[in-house]
């Protein structure tokens, strides 16, 4: 079973969760995290320096390459896990996976604000131990 680990580039918990899942025998894709916490900011700065708007930048080579890379791995995954907190991209990715009929889980981070729409997820985990239980029962 391959898990696509979704999260924020600024969330230091993402690689830790990936390591926990791998230690339990799961195949985990979280290589997107390697670009670092400022990747989106640097991309925006570069595109703005070129005089591009956000919609124009989304059609540029850098954005299309990153999107294609991530989508290819999303498409190959059996399950997705969103590690909260995550931003707009992460929630779009989870929605995409769920929309294809595959399971998608959310690992909570003790959120200040609650959201009823998280009911779209296959399951909500309150800890990594709880997440492991959910994933193992899904096997």
Residues 87-110 have pLDDT tens digits of: 999 999 999 999 999 999 999 998
- Look at residues 122, 127, 88 and name the one whose alpha carbon lies nearest to residue 109: 127
User: For the structural domain made of 2-138, what CATH number should be given?
Assistant: 3.40.50.450
- Give me the DSSP letters along the chain: -EEEEE--TT-THHHHHHHHHHHTT-EEE-GGGGG-TTHHHHHHHHHHHTT--HHHHHTSHHHHHHHHHHHHHHHH-SEEEEESS--HHHHHHHHHHHHTT--EEEE----SS--GGGGGSSEEESSHHHHHHHHHHH-
Per-domain residue ranges of the chain: 2-138
Asked if residue 112 has pLDDT above 90, the reply is no
Question: Both tokens of residue 96?
Answer: 């995409």
Residues 25-69 have pLDDT tens digits of: 999 999 999 999 999 999 999 999 999 999 999 999 999 999 999
pTM of the model: 0.94
């Amino acid at each position: 079973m391959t898990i696509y680990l979704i999260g924020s580039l600024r969330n230091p918990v993402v690689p830790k969760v990936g390591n926990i899942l791998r230690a339990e025998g799961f195949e985990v894709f979280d290589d997107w995290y390697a670009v670092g916490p400022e990747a989106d900011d640097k991309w925006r700065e570069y595109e703005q320096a070129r005089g591009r708007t956000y919609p124009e930048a989304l059609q540029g080579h850098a954005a299309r390459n990153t999107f294609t890379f991530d989508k290819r791995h999303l498409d190959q995954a059996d399950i997705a896990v969103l590690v909260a907190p995550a931003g707009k991209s992460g929630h779009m990715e989870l929605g995409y996976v769920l929309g294809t009929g595959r399971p998608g889980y959310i690992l909570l981070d003790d959120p200040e604000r609650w959201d009823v729409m998280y009911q779209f997820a296959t399951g909500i985990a309150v800890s990594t131990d709880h997440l492991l239980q959910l994933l193992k029962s899904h096997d």
